[in-house]
Structure 1
């Protein structure tokens, strides 16, 4: 894959907001992982490309709006700075987060998400 880290970040976000699960899967290595903090239905580590896609699907199923603030790049990796919001009758999600993606051979090998409001995430994703 000859995509830049910045382009990869934009493609990941675009696929997430569109619910294009096949596109997300194409950006991941088979052994990709995604780790989220907290103690709720989306917390912990998803292991394997298919499990990472299922985690993205589950998060999106809660009606989350994924506002992209910035794509940040390092020499070898990239991160998405996001503002995620959603609302249910009994809970509101309003958090800033950074999703750090470690890349290998032009694809995502590992994702780790850092949150501004872990208790709020725990209350929302029940």
Structure 2
């Protein structure tokens, strides 16, 4: 089970990094619950694939298309949970950000059903995204 979930997580991050939203959509459950950290315009809980894609689209627009996970360092599995240590970055006319993070995915029956994100510098991420 853990190895299969690690494979799903690898596929997800590969698709995220290459911009393959079709594959991302296939890996996210229709009713995925997404926990976006911080106190910025994108923070909070999103329920459903469409709400997650709307949020991600807003992040791409706000970052002038630059927001990206530029490195997935480690994937660790424990049953239906997969934790990934990552590095992400973005920029826009008012500034830039680059930091480490942790993405925690809960995978059930071959789909990502819940996602929790953690930022290495929440204040800097909030300042970048704004209200």
- TM bracket, shorter-chain basis: 0.7 to 0.9
SS in 1 for 2:102: strand
- Residues matched between the structures, number: 124
Distance 1:71 1:91 in 2: 30
> Counterpart of 2:32?
32
Deviations 1:47-95 (A, max 9, x none): 1012222333333442123111111111222122111122334222121
Separation in 2, partners of 1:71, 1:56: 22
Flag as ranges the 4+ runs of structure 1 deviating above 2 A. 53-61, 86-90
Task: Using structure 2 for the length normalisation, give the TM-score.
Answer: 0.84
Q: Which has the higher helix share?
A: 2
SS in structure 2 opposite 1:4?
helix
- Runs of 5+ consecutive residues of structure 1 not aligned to the other structure: none
**Structure 2 unaligned blocks of 5 or more:** none
Give the TM-score normalised by structure 1.
0.87
Call closer, same or farther: CA 1:59–1:32 in 2, change over 3 Å: same
RMSD: 1.7
- Structure 2 residue aligned with 1:75, among 75, 79, 85? 79
